Structure 1
Amino acid sequence: MSKVDARGLACPAPVLATKAAIESEHPERMEVLVDNDPSRENVTRFLASQGYTSAVEQDGDVYTITATRGADAPQTEPVAEAPEGAPTKIMVMVASDCMGTGDDVLGAKLMINFIKTLKEMGDELWRLVFVNSGVKLTIDGAGTLADIQDLEATGLTILVCGTCLDHFNLLERKQVGQTTNMLDIVTAMQLADKVINI
């Protein structure tokens, strides 16, 4: 069994350490130790994407993730080029709960209007990513929550930075999207045809 001790490591290091162990050892079973909830969620989700089934045990602040590789684990395939006529894949990264600088009250109103209008991008809107104070737009009570939930209901993938939620003590208040890590965000940037930063 491969063992990864990722205690004390900040995002995305636990996922990167797990990824490195899988790539170098190709283990059928592995055990990963982490000491915070965002790392537990991110490592578990990454393992699932690699064809592993995970069980988690908690002892104090330490989570032990035990993973077993399934028979139908995905094989690495080259990324196919998009067929001609396929929509452009646009990733929108929202790094603030306000739009622009100068007046935060106005900025908050502009951000609500921006999120409301995102649906006009149609099929070209491929990923919506929230980092830094942008994660505040995904929590209960946010004026943008209903519109973001509507976007998610259409099948849009929404990624919310786990480190950022943890920093603002908002992990329990997130109501929409997948809690994610910097590896997922960087990978999404690589795959996108265009990245728009707000």
Structure 2
Amino acid sequence: MQEKKEEMASTKTPKKTNLLDHNSIKHLLDESVTEIVTSKGFPEDNRMSNIRLLIGVVIIVIALFAQFYNKKFPENRNFLLGCIGLYPFRGVYVVFNGLLQLIIYMKEKNAILFTYAPSGSFNSTGLIVTSKLPRFSDMYTLIIASADPQSISAKAPVEFTKSVTQWFTKDGVLVEGLFWKDVEGLINEYAKETKKSK
């Protein structure tokens, strides 16, 4: 069994990114954070993603009806207006599009991961993991907070802000051990906050 682990570790391809691409760096770090948090026993909560997908499907279906309606433009004008906000859909397209933007703005913000509480845990809430990497900055901020701040078991959020240059080589390869250690330390800090307050 030990041989298999060593073989897998030696064949694992390093995570590499373009150091000149801000979005690429953030995406790679966010993916790694998700991997680390879920490996620590926090199952991912996909409910918010599923709601967004459902709303997106409704928006696409309405747009397809408007696009492929069997009449050409001047004749289908009333139908197009209906799809946008009048009879027969009563503004469904506009309402669903607005609802999708509201969910993204109010609930998700900069969240990269929602989790359930680990199985067997006394804590009844999961986590919201949020990250920020401002444009033209190398400072990456990671925040771990309770998914339900109103819950009695909700704890104060913990965070760190560090330069991404600490975790990448000059070739753009992520030094996973260092990054893992920092993220794991933040998770442990959140867990300690939970134990202290009880």
Smaller-chain TM-score bracket: under 0.3
Structure with a larger share of its residues in strand: 1
Which has the larger Rg? 2
TM-score by length of 2: 0.19
Structure with a larger share of its residues in helix: 2
TM-score by length of 1: 0.19
